[in-house]
Structure 1
Amino acid sequence: MPKRLVRDVLSSVIVLLLAGACTRTTPSQAPVQPDASVPAANQPAPAPVTAAPQVPGPVAGTRITEAYARAAARDVYFWAWTLVNVYNRRINFQSLPGPGRLGGVLPASPLNSLSMLTDYVAPSQREVACPNQDVVYGGGPLGLDVEPVVIQVPDFGDRFWVYQVVDTRTDSFVDLGKMYGTTPGFYLLAGPGWKGETPKGITRVFRSSTNSGYVIPRVFLDATAEDRKAVQPLISQIDMYPLSKFDGKMKTRDWSKTPDFPAPPPQPDGSEAPKVDPKKFWDELPAALADTTPLPGEEAQYAKALSLVEAAKRDPTIKAAITDEAVRTEKELIAPLLEFRNFGIPVAANWSTVRNGAKFGTDYFTRTAVAKSNIFVNKPNEATYFYQDLDANGARLDGGKRYTVTFAKGGPPVKGFWSLTLYDAQHFFVPNTIDRYSLGTKNKDLVANADGTTTIYVQADAPADPSQRTNWLPSPKGKPFSLYMRTYWPDAAILDGTWSPPKVEPVQ
C-alpha cells in the first residue's frame, strides 16, 4: 500500500475515534435527549425497569439475646404506641349496639358509624385528653377493611365546621371543612384494598392507607342559648354509615335521643382512660401492624417488630423481658410527653407548637408525643395549636398565683375561631364555680380594654374588680395547670410563625 494512502486511512480512523470520544456521555453528564423530530418508532426502546432487590430480614427461629430484645423492644414500643392506641379504639367500641354517649358525655359508636353530641363536651369527660368547649363534637371508629363508608355533609351556611378523619397513624387523609369550600353532599371513605365502583351521588372519594382510623366532626357553637338551638338542625344531618346503606338520600337523626353507655372506670390520678396497656402490647401489636400498611422505608421496622413477637412466642424469658421493657418505656419515655414543654417547636414567651399535626409521616417522636398529650389534632391549616406550661419568667403555671394574658386589638389572626383553654395536669377541665373552661370567639361578652386589647385573667379566685370577671378563666387552687391556644382556620401569620400567643404574665 502506498505510504500516502496508509497515512490517509490512519487520519480517517483517528478522526472517527475522536468524534466518538466527544459524544460519549460521562457519569457527570446528562444523557442526550432524543430528537423530538424523530418518530418515536425510530427511537431506541427504554431499558426495562428492574424491581428493587428484596432485602432479607430476620430469619424465623433465630435466637436473640435478652439485651438485644430489650433494646429493640424500647424502640418498637415507642414507634408503634400510636398505632396500637388508635386500633384499640376500634376494638373497644366495636361491640356497642349503636351510636350513643360514653358515660353520658362523649360520642361513642360501633364500627363505621358515628355519634354526635348536641352541646359542648361535659367537663367530667376523661376518655380523650384536651377536649374543647368551642365546638359540638362527633366521633366514630373506621373499619374500612369491612366496607367503605359514606359521610354526610349538610349545608352549614356561614358556620365554621371541619371533619377530621385520620388513619391508624393519626395522619389525616381528607379535606372536608369550611376552609376547603366543601359543598354539601355525600363523601366516601375507602380503604387501601377497595376496588369497587363509586356509586352515583358521591361527590368525592377519600382513600386511607390503613384500614382503621377515626372520624371526628367539629361544628362551632357560640356560648348562647340561641345558637345552641340554631345548631341542632345541622347536627341532625351529620351521619356516617356503610356504603351498602347509601341510597342517595340525606339521613337525619335526633342525637339527643341516643342512649348512654358505661364509661371505663376512672383512673386514680384523673388521667385519660388508657388505650395502650404495656402488659398486653406484644399480644395486640401484630393486629395493629397487619391493619396498617408500612410507609415507604418502614418495612425493616415492621420486620424487627414482628421478629420480637415471634421470639417472645418461642421463649418465655424473652416475652417477660420485652413486657418489662414496655412497662419501663411507658413510664420513662411516654409518660413525660404528657407535659407540653417536653416536645414541639418553641416559640416566643415559652409557648410551643407543632407544624405537622395530622401529617406526621415518619416523625415518630412528635406523633407519639401528640398522641399522648392531645391526640386527634387537626392539620395546621385547619387548626394550629399552641401549648403552655410556663409563665413569662419560665416558672411552672401554678393555681396559687394570678396571671394575665393580653391579646392585641383584633385578637389572633384567624378566619375560623380562637380560644384559650385551661387544663389540669392531666389535660382535662378543672371544675369551677362558674362552669367556665375557655374563653375566646364563642364568648360574645368579652370586655376589651380602652386601647382595644383584651386581657384574660387566669386565677383561682374571682377578680376583685367586678369589671374583670367576664374575662376570668378559673385555675385550680394551688395546683399546676396548662394553657392551650386553639386557632382554627389560621391566617398566614400563624402558619408562617409570624404570630404567636402573648406572654402569660404573673401578677405581683
Structure 2
Amino acid sequence: MRADNFIKKTEIIKKNIFKIWISGILFLLTFPSFSAVQPTEKEVTDSYLYLLGRYLVIRQENQDVNIEKNNYNKIKYNTPGLTEFANPNLDVVYLESWVAVDKNNGVILNVPEIKDRYYTVQLLDGWGEVVANINERTYPKHPYGKFAIVLKGSNPKNIPKDALKVEVPFNKVKMLARVELKGTPDEAVRLQKRFTLEAPAGIKIEPVVNIPDFSNSKLIGADIFLKVDEVLKSYPDSMPKAPEYQKTVKKVADYMKSSDEAKKYIENIIQTKTIPEFMKKTTSYGVEKDGWVATYGAGNFGDDIVLRDSINFGGIWANTTNEAIYFGGTKDAGSNQLLNGNNTYKIVFSKDELPDLMADAFWSITLYNTPDYHVAKNALNKYNVNNMTKLNKNKDGSLTIWAGPELPKGAFRENWIPTEKGREFVLTFRLYVPKEVVRNGSWTPPAIQKIK
C-alpha cells in the first residue's frame, strides 16, 4: 500500500514538474525579451551590412518593375546618353530586363553578330553577384545566336536544339547588356534592337519583396530587420559565409522584436555608427592610391559585404574585372580631401601610360555628384571624356584631363569636364577589357592634383 502511494506521489511530482517546464517555455515564447540575447555592436553592424546588399537590389528591382513598369522578360531599350539614373555609362547603349524562369520554362535570348565593337550581356543574381557574361570572349565558339537562360538543374522542354544553355541560380536574374557607341551611335542602336527575348506563357513569377522606401542620402534603419525571413528566402546567396551571416541576422532580428528598448538599442547603433562608417567607406573602400580607389573584386565579392554594399550603393550592376575595372577618383592626392566642384583638378598621363594603352576595348572618365551618383549638371551637358573624344596631347606626348567649374587657364576645352559648384563629386575611370597590368594592380591611374 505504501509502495502504491509512493508511486502515485512520484507521478504527481513528475506531472507538476512537466507543467512548470511547459509553462516556463510558453512564458519565454510569450515574452521574448527574457530569451533573446543582446547582440554585440559588431553583430548588429555586420548583420545590417549583410542585409543591405540584398535590400539595395530589391530597391532597384522595385524601381524597374513597379515604378517604371518594365515587366519581367521584356527588354527595355535605353536611349543613348540618358542621364536620369545613377552612375550611367555614357559610352555604351544599354538594354536591360529582369529575366524570370522556373523549373519547367527557360527564356531564349537572341544575340546578334557584332564585329569590331565591344558588347556583353551581363547576368546578375539577387545580391548583385555576376552569374555570367555572354560575348565573344566568354563563348568564343558561340558568341552570338540563341542562348537559353534556364534554372540550374532544370531541363525545360521549350529549349531549341541550337540554343546554348546558360544556367542561373534562382528564378530571377537581372540582364544588362552594353553595346559600345564607338562614335557611331546609330549603328549601336541598330544592333541594340536586335537583342530579343522569347519567353513562354505561364512562368511563375514571384512579386518583388515589399520593403520600406529609402534613399542613398537616407538609408533604411532598424526596419531592415522586420522582414528577415521573407527577405532571406527571396533569393539564395552564393557568398561562402552567407549561412554564418544569416544566423547572426536572425539573432539580431529576434532581439529587436523582444522590446521597444531592444529596438532602440539596435537603431542607435545603426544610426550613430553603422551608417556613418559605411558612408565614409563608399568613397574610400578598396585599394587607395593617388586619390583613386580600385575595386578589383567587383562582380564576384567573395565574403566582402562592405565591397558588395558599396558597389550596389554607388554603381549597381558592376561587372567582373575580366570585363571592366572601375577606378573611383574621390580625393585630391595632395590634401586627401574629397573632390569638390568649387575646385579645379588635373590628371596627367605620361606618354608611355596613356589610357588607350591600358584597355583592349575602350576607356572613359565620367564625373558624378555624390551621394546620388547622378551626372553633374552643366551648361555644356558634358559629363565625360573617353577614347572617342578628340583629346589634345601636351607637347611631350602626355595627356592632361581637367575637372573644374570653369575652363582652366591654358587647358584644352576638349580635355575638360565641368563640375557643379557646391557639390562633392567622384570621377569614375572605366577600362573595358583591361590589360593584365591593370587587372593585377601593377598599373593605377596617375594622381588627382588640385590646382591652387
Task: Let me know the Cα RMSD of the aligned residues.
Answer: 3.1
Aligned to 1:117: 78
Q: Following TM superposition, by how much is the alpha carbon of 1:316 offset from its aligned partner in structure 2, in angstroms?
A: 5.6
Find the residue that maps to 2:159 and give its secondary structure: coil
Aligned to 2:379: 433
The amino acid of 2:60's aligned partner reads R
Mapped to 1, the partners of 2:97 and 2:327 lie a distance apart of 26
Aligned to 2:197: 240
Aligned to 1:90: 61
Find the residue that maps to 1:277 and give its secondary structure: coil
- Counterparts in 2 of 1:302 and 1:317: CA distance versus 1, 3 Å: same
Structure 2: gaps of 5 or more residues: 1-27, 204-212
Structure 1: gaps of 5 or more residues: 1-59, 97-101, 103-107, 247-265
Aligned to 1:278: 221
Mapped to 1, the partners of 2:136 and 2:394 lie a distance apart of 31
Aligned: 1:190 with 2:150: yes
Q: Following TM superposition, by how much is the alpha carbon of 1:114 offset from its aligned partner in structure 2, in angstroms?
A: 2.8
**Equivalent residue pairs, number:** 404
- Counterparts in 2 of 1:358 and 1:436: CA distance versus 1, 3 Å: same
Indicate the structure (1 or 2) with the bigger Cα radius of gyration: 1
- Counterparts in 2 of 1:198 and 1:394: CA distance versus 1, 3 Å: farther
Find the residue that maps to 1:499 and give its secondary structure: coil
Cα deviation per residue 1:128-187 (whole Å; 9 max; x = unaligned)?
3x2221111222224445853332211122111122211122111113134334521122
Match of 1:411 among 355, 372, 391: 355
- Asked whether the equivalents of residues 53 and 305 of structure 2 are also in contact (C-alpha less than 8 Å), the reply is no
- Counterparts in 2 of 1:497 and 1:70: CA distance versus 1, 3 Å: closer
Cα deviation per residue 1:314-337 (whole Å; 9 max; x = unaligned)?
656545654555555663343323
- Counterparts in 2 of 1:211 and 1:316: CA distance versus 1, 3 Å: farther
Mapped to 2, the partners of 1:72 and 1:272 lie a distance apart of 23
- Counterparts in 2 of 1:404 and 1:323: CA distance versus 1, 3 Å: closer
Aligned to 1:133: 90
Find the residue that maps to 1:368 and give its secondary structure: helix
Percent identical pairs in the alignment equals 20
Cα deviation per residue 1:186-223 (whole Å; 9 max; x = unaligned)?
2222334634347224532222334343221111113x
Mapped to 2, the partners of 1:118 and 1:112 lie a distance apart of 19
Aligned to 1:32: none
Mapped to 2, the partners of 1:212 and 1:322 lie a distance apart of 32
Find the residue that maps to 2:276 and give its secondary structure: helix
The amino acid of 2:383's aligned partner reads Y
Aligned pairs for 1:207-218 (under 5 A) are 207-218=167-178
Aligned to 1:457: 402
- Asked whether the equivalents of residues 86 and 213 of structure 1 are also in contact (C-alpha less than 8 Å), the reply is no
The amino acid of 2:400's aligned partner reads T
Find the residue that maps to 2:38 and give its secondary structure: helix
Runs of 4+ aligned structure 1 residues displaced above 6 Å come to none
Mapped to 1, the partners of 2:151 and 2:122 lie a distance apart of 16
- Counterparts in 2 of 1:242 and 1:434: CA distance versus 1, 3 Å: same
Aligned pairs for 1:181-330 (under 5 A) are 181=140, 183-192=143-152, 194-197=154-157, 199-222=159-182, 224=183, 227-244=184-201, 272=216, 277-278=220-221, 280-295=223-238, 296-310=240-254, 318=262, 321-322=265-266, 325-328=269-272
Match of 1:75 among 32, 41, 46: 46
Mapped to 1, the partners of 2:202 and 2:188 lie a distance apart of 26
- Counterparts in 2 of 1:245 and 1:159: CA distance versus 1, 3 Å: farther
Find the residue that maps to 1:215 and give its secondary structure: strand
Aligned: 1:378 with 2:319: yes
Aligned to 2:15: none
Aligned to 1:153: 111
The amino acid of 1:137's aligned partner reads Y
- Counterparts in 2 of 1:323 and 1:210: CA distance versus 1, 3 Å: farther
Mapped to 1, the partners of 2:307 and 2:200 lie a distance apart of 34
TM-score, normalization by structure 2: 0.79
Aligned: 1:490 with 2:437: no
- Counterparts in 2 of 1:186 and 1:327: CA distance versus 1, 3 Å: farther
The amino acid of 1:154's aligned partner reads P
